[in-house]
Structure 1
Amino acid sequence: MPDVDPFSPTTLGPVTLRNRFVKAATSEGRSPEGLVTDDLIDFHLSFVRGGVGLTTVAYCCVAPEGASAPGQIVMSRAALPGLRKLTDAVHSAGGAISAQLGHAGVVASKKITGVTALSPSRFVNPSTMEYCREITVARIRQVIDQFGEAAQVAADAGFDAVELHFGHLYLPSSFLSPWINRRKDEYGGSIENRTRFAREIAQRVREVVGNRIAVTAKMSMDDGIKHSIWLTESVQTAQLLDRDRNLDAIELTQGSSVKHQMYLFRGDVPIDEFASVQKEPFKTGLKLFGRRVLGDYPYRDLYMLDSARQFVPAVSNSKLILLGGINNLDHARTGLGEGFDFVAMGRALLREPDLIARMQKDPTTQGRCNHNNKCMFTVYGRTHCVLDPEQVNGGPANPGPTPFTVQPAQRPTVVEE
């Protein structure tokens, strides 16, 4: 494959982007009332001014009961004025902006939403020990409509794209997992049936937005959990979504927000930092069993590439976005050279919002992120890199109500990588 210039303009559906760098969704902690703030606008402007082609607003709930953490934006008409102010600011700075749309499903906590979480089948979240009720077919239809309504809000607010969160065992992703999905109807059993929910969401969103904006999805390749999502079936899921032609791109991810959360992040496991924002008995439980629950996976550059390259020959209509361990220009060029159309960066840009511009000026630039993952616990307050001297609010403002509600989508997921 000929060399692809990472800084060359390219298209994502109907949108032209100035380059092939995407700021991955990260839990931001900058919308405490569920509405856009100037702080959130400044957060995304830092990445656009720092050179990214597309920045992603993390985890915009399609419904209040779909929240995974306090203070997340709900995509309603009430949010429109602030969302429009955000998109206008990004466009004025020369960038493009996407809204990540999600429903947390089993990742949601009743302590946050006030209602019992939804799941494909009855399930107990092993991280929170909260019961999740089985979603009915009628409720599935409502959630599909909610994704469509949220996409309409995004289009009306001036977003260039929406990213459908089909990863990390959030509600659509949990349907893909035989560990959680034990249904006997048309949404359970075969991988074709388990993919049906995600496909219907994508179809509904495309029907709503047409070709006004791009439609992408973040999809888990595997989640590091026995008897859950793995490549043999996720490649088929990608093919089914690709065949429908409702998605302009698929961003490939790994891990979950339910168990073994460090499988997504890789690197240091910040047990002490997580424990510091918990009340008893969770504080002691984290110190004793946190590493076992979160998992412990060493970091390496381009750590998702081995799995992600399996999707290149399988997908023909949708573009592919590579995520995971991209910290310099050589990493980006490697991904593009393997057939990916874009590269997405999370922690590296959280550490250095201007990293893309500096790499363009000096191709030998190396990202400073050392994967200590202490940024993860800052989602309980205001997400930031703990090594950035410019950041204020160095500690979390509000302790989380339960452990591991940190969204990798992610935020949690603080970062989607």
Structure 2
Amino acid sequence: MNQTAHQAPGNPDVLAPAQLGPVSLRNRTIKAATYEGLSHEGLVTQELIDFHVRHAAGGVGMTTVAYCAVAPEGRTGAHQILWRPAALPGLRKLTEAVHAEGAAVCAQIGHAGPVANPKSNGAPALSPSRHFHKTTLSFAREATRGDLKRIVRNHAEAATMAVEAGFDAVEIHLGHNYLASSFLSPRINHRKDEYGGSLDNRARFPREIARAVRAAVGKRIAVIAKLNMDDGVPGGFWLDEAIPVARRLESDGSLDAVELTVGSSLLNPMYLFRGDAPLREFAQVMPQPVKTGVKLVGNRVLHSYPYEDAYLLEQARQVRAAIEMPLILLGGITNRRTMDLAMREGFQFVAMGRALLREPDLVNRIRADAATPSLCIHCNKCMVSFHGGIRCVLVDDSGDRAAGGATPITG
């Protein structure tokens, strides 16, 4: 691409090839992990493959498969992909299909911890300390040291399977108060052992996970972490601790890049998703008595935050100033202007979510015309749609989506 007014001299061209650890990407745009709701019985379906092929064909440098649980009790829903040998045939078919479109593919790996659904999983949710989950109306039990050792090992095993399945990268979930993130949070972590109290102690478990994953995969694939900068709740994890945690992760040498995020799926789920809070739509898909609770007091939990382009930049800039590791800017990246802004601010990659749900080919369209605007209106109704396969509700793709109960790929 020729240098334009959108690309200042000395700044990377966001649409030119780039290196992410050992992986060469055709450009610096990444389809962010957005739970697709298209897996079945913990396995890949053709609908899930088609979803990621659309984004690969649409021009992104890499697409991210979300959310792939490392342990049965670490799922937020029973149908989420679960790392085990039975999942490998479908995952291989997915990576091959994405590669055929010229894009790289990343697998998000993690354990939902207190965000997990114990009823659908048939097992108690785990948390640093005993915690009540308002959505599932159940208590998460305190994870034992044995649980933590097992889950660290589960992450390493999942990363090894990701290599076998043909993934180019894994993204370790250290955000949104999933298990590793909840250990970082003083609001949730009340432990008195070596995993609680000081920041060094609270960061111990996430760092153990990252080191184990790196040891398992070496330099065969890239290793990314999705790290919270701010839980969005009083007394939670915030920038003053996120910056030193990022420094510790950098010093460990276990990561090739960090994607910066915010919010708590447990305590403030809308903090990441700026724009409207679709209370009515959330209530429609919730079971009773949660449905009634959302209708009556949902606005106290599902807060609405005003949208603006590059809305996480101010916080992310603080992390950028503190470390040298490659960083991925997420949040309100919808057009060439915000992409180039990220490059000027020293970020190496940009991650896009809702804008690509609206227009999977947006990157190709921006490449063809730098003035291309995004059609996403930040209504956030896509957040509710994953119950039948995540999509932009303004696009009629019913002909492309199977009804519930899609057939899992087992061989």
| TM-score interval, smaller chain | over 0.9
Are 1:104 and 2:112 matched, yes or no? Answer: yes
Q: Aligned to 1:186, which of 170, 191, 194?
A: 194
The reply to whether residue 333 of structure 1 matches residue 360 of structure 2 is: no
Tell me the alpha carbon deviations over residues 6-36 of structure 1, each in whole angstroms, 9 at most, x when there is no partner. 1111111100000000000011111122111
Q: Deviations over 1:143-197 (max 9, x none)?
A: 0000000001000111000000000000000000001111111111111111110
Q: Which moved more, 1:346-355 or 1:297-306?
A: 297-306
Q: Is the partner of 2:271 in helix, strand or coil?
A: helix
Aligned pairs for 1:132-211 within 5 A: 132-211=140-219
Matched, 1:93 2:101: yes
| Structure 1 gaps, min length 5 | 399-417
Pairs within 5 Å for 1:255-266: 255-266=263-274
Query: Among residues 267, 274, 283, which one is paired with 2:275 in the alignment?
Result: 267
Once residues 327 and 98 of structure 1 are traced to their aligned partners in structure 2, the CA distance between those partners, rounded to angstroms, is 21
**Identity level (%):** 55
Give, as a single letter, the amino acid of the residue that structure 1 aligns with 2:332: G
> Amino acid of the residue matched to residue 236 of structure 1?
P
Match of 2:378 among 371, 383, 386: 371
Greater shift in the superposed pair: 2-11 or 240-249? 2-11
1:410 paired residue number: none
Q: Which residue of 2 aligns with 1:383?
A: 390
Letter of the structure 2 residue corresponding to residue 364 of structure 1: A
RMSD in angstroms over aligned alpha carbons? Answer: 1.5
Judge conservation of contact 1:378–1:395 (CA < 8 Å) in 2.
Answer: no
Partner residue in 1 for 2:368: 361
140-149 or 288-297: bigger deviation? 288-297
Contact 2:65 2:108 in 1 (8 A): yes
- Contact 1:384-1:391 within 8 A present in 2 as well: no
**Secondary structure of 1:343's aligned partner:** strand
Deviations 1:247-267 (A, max 9, x none): 000000000111221111011
1:304 matched to 2:312? The reply is yes
1:61 and 2:61 correspond: no
- 1:301–1:324 CA contact under 8 A, matched in 2: yes
Q: Structure 1's 395 and 83: CA in aligned 2 closer, same or farther, altered over 3 A?
A: closer
TM (normalized to structure 2)? 0.94
Checking the alignment, whether the CA contact within 8 Å between 1:379 and 1:396 is kept in structure 2 is: no
Which segments of 5 or more consecutive residues in structure 2 lack a partner in the other structure?
A: 1-8, 406-411
Partners of 2:403 and 2:48 lie apart in 1 by 16
1:414 matched residue in structure 2:
none
Count, aligned residues: 397
Distance 1:375 1:70 in 2: 20
> What is the match of residue 323 of structure 1?
330
- Distance across 2 between alignment mates of 1:209 and 1:270: 40
Work out the CA distance in 1 between the residues paired with 2:192 and 2:400: 49
Q: Does the aligned pair in 1 maintain the 2:159–2:216 contact within 8 Å?
A: yes
2:330 and 2:352 in contact (8 A); partners too:
yes
Which whole-Å CA distance do the structure 2 matches of 1:33 and 1:6 have between them?
38
Aligned pair in 2 of structure 1 residues 234, 15: CA closer, same or farther (>3 Å)? same
- Preserved contact between residue 232 and residue 268 of structure 2 (Cα < 8 Å): yes
Q: Within 2, Cα distance between the matches of 1:229 and 1:151?
A: 27
- In the alignment, the residues of structure 2 paired with residue 70 and residue 109 of structure 1 have an alpha-carbon distance, to the nearest angstrom, of 8
- 1:31 and 1:134 map into 2 onto residues whose CA distance is 29
Q: Secondary structure at the match of 2:301?
A: helix
Q: 1:208-223 alignment to 2 at 5 Å?
A: 208-223=216-231
In 2, distance between residues paired with 1:393 and 1:214?
A: 32
| TM-score normalised by the chain length of structure 1 | 0.93
Structure 1 residues 49 and 202: alpha-carbon distance in aligned structure 2, compared to 1, 3 A threshold: same
The answer to whether residue 91 in structure 2 is matched with residue 83 in structure 1 is: yes
Q: Which amino acid aligns with 2:210?
A: A
